Chains A and B, each alone.
Chain A
């Protein structure tokens, strides 16, 4: 493979201080050929190497050796370092993941990875600043084939070099760690497992009492129980709410409504006044919040009472 030959030469020349083992995944030209025929993995990123191997290799070279960054940029038209846009498509939980990823990747890179210097700033900038991306056009054109889940998922691999991860990018560069298998399938599986583990950690933090538990199955058990208990709580609350006797001519409601109307902002005021069934609910809701904030309730508001009641009726009829 002349491809691999040239690649090896350049990379060894450029990154002399880098550990040789890190190159395991990189000098496999046939690996790229394999990956170039995309098996549609659920959640796998191997689906995505749709770039011809040369471009992929060039991109890798770019991220590896800072000296060739300008070259690579010229070759592939990437502006170094390419931050990328998340847009509004970012899955809500991904933002948390991204912060963690930034933290982790910077930590790892500080462990003496020379080539990391070029990718560290790009990495953290990539992961913490949503900015306009300028990745290669060829890459963007092929992004149409990606699954939605891949679009939303970030590539989150430790010790990573690639700053290309992007919601539009179809693939992720993963470097094999020392002593691990480097064929495409295990790489894909490993990335997938890491994704799952990262998200499981988030879940563990969210669900109370899950941090102490070891083992996926028990954690999943806890999560299921938590979700079920929340759903049951919703049921109970709706039953309680339904059994509260709805009262229409209720002075206190309107008193509270008027008081809250004056205190809360305008948008909320409107909805508070539009009385809902059971309508003491809405107004007492805000009153409840306010009660928490300011203790003494002011009861005798009869004048306001009349006005509030009138307002209510107007809005009701206007509905």
Chain B
């Protein structure tokens, strides 16, 4: 599933909506503040595209809610905002540690054979990788099974792709625009960037 143009448009609209909220602060903020605002609104826009159906989108919204509650509330209209922000994510992490420890204890009795050892090592490697994947995908810690994890990863990758495409075209256009300004106004380019 590749990003569609309707997804791109919707993302752009939502992102614009989020950026508007920051509009009053435009002049007296530093680059880092602006970057943070851009990124947060882009993330929430991307997550809201899924309307709470996917785990990663909910986790992402909750994460940005901890940084900027107001933005999230404004961007998500309706009941969704309240439920998403206030809901606590299920804590599966602690269970897994206990399970792992008990498995270690049980494992000591198991008989070893060459093939089994190789297979066991492969399985361990895969488990490590899935844990790494959980760390990368937002909300991955709370996905209880692998099937869900992979589904979420698929969706997350597609959404990230749209986000990157839209953002890149905007940035290119904006930078080209500022270059052209420099040209038309007859100023050398480096003098303009005093931000």
> Which of A195, A220, A287 counts the most chain B CB atoms within 10 A?
A220
Judge whether A277 and B26 touch: CB under 8 Å.
yes
B125 in contact with A217 (CB, 8 Å): yes
Given A96-B1, A203-B154, A231-B160, is A243 in contact with B31 using a C-beta cutoff of 8 Å? yes
Bound form: Cα–Cα A281–B9 in Å = 14
The answer to whether A199 has its CB under 8 Å from any CB of chain B is: yes
Beyond A217-B125, A244-B174, A276-B19, is A93–B154 a contact (Cβ under 8 Å)? yes
Indicate if the CB atoms of A280 and B177 lie closer than 8 Å: yes
Q: With A and B bound together, what is the CA distance between A95 and B136 in angstroms?
A: 25
Q: Tell me whether B26 and A227 are in contact (CB under 8 A).
A: no
Bound together, the chains give a CA A95 to CA B155 distance in angstroms of 12
Does B157 touch A at the CB level, under 8 Å?
Answer: yes
Interface residues on B, range: 35 or more
B158 CB contacts on chain A under 8 angstroms: 92, 206
Check if A247 sits within 8 Å of B144, measured CB to CB.
Answer: no
What is the CB-to-nearest-CB distance from A100 to chain B, in angstroms, rounded to a whole number? 12
Contact of B153 among A223, A240, A253, A271 (CB under 8 A): A223
Contact yes or no, B34 A252, CB < 8 A? no
Which of the candidate stretches B63-71, B77-85, B126-134 sits at the interface with the other chain?
Answer: B126-134
Contact at A223–B125, with CB atoms within 8 Å? no
Q: A230-B160, A277-B23 are in contact. Are A238 and B167 (CB under 8 A)?
A: yes
Whether B145 lies near A149 (C-beta < 8 A) is yes
Q: Does any Cβ of A come within 8 Å of B172's Cβ?
A: yes
With both beta carbons as reference points, the residue of chain A lying nearest to B138 in the complex is identified as: A231
Return chain A residues, CB-CB under 8 Å to B13.
268, 271
User: Taking chain B's interface residues, is the majority helix, strand, or loop, or is none over half, making it mixed?
Assistant: helix
Out of B26, B32, B160, B180, which one reaches A252, CB within 8 Å? Answer: B180
A134 at the interface (CB under 8 A from B): no
Nearest to B150 among chain A residues (CB) is: A199
**A227 with B193, Cβ < 8 A, contacts A206-B158, A242-B38, A271-B13 known:** no
- Which residues of chain A in 36-88 are interfacial with respect to chain B, using CB atoms and an 8 Å cutoff? 42-43
B residues engaging A (CB < 8 A)?
1, 9, 12-13, 16-17, 19-20, 22-23, 26, 31-32, 34-35, 37-39, 42, 53-54, 122, 125-126, 129-130, 132-133, 136-137, 144-148, 150-151, 153-158, 160-161, 163-164, 167-178, 180-181, 184, 192-195
Closest 8 CB pairs of A and B: A288-B173, A284-B173, A220-B129, A242-B34, A242-B35, A42-B145, A230-B160, A43-B145
